[in-house]
Amino acid sequence: MDINDVRGLGSIFALIAFSGVIWWAYGSSRKKRFDDDAKIPFIENEEMPAHDANDRSK
């Protein structure tokens, strides 16, 4: 086994890992969770006070 065999096995492993990540990310069982997570930046946090642009006391 020489270095080219190791490189070939590494490439195959990387392709399998990449395919697994794609399968996991686009699986239909996780669609609702990812849709909910995508809305997180747009949800107003009621615990935090509203930012006042005129408040320069800080």
Name the one residue in this structure whose structure tokens are 């509203």: 50
The pLDDT mean for the chain works out to 86
pLDDT of residue 15 exceeding 80, the answer is yes
Residue 30 and residue 24 in contact, taking contact as beta carbons nearer than 8 Å: yes
Q: Please indicate, yes or no, whether the overall pTM of this predicted structure exceeds 0.85.
A: no
Q: Which tens digit of pLDDT belongs to each residue from 22-46? A: 999 998 899 999 999 999 988 877 7
- The amino acid at residue 33 is R
- Tokens at residue 8, please? 């070939």
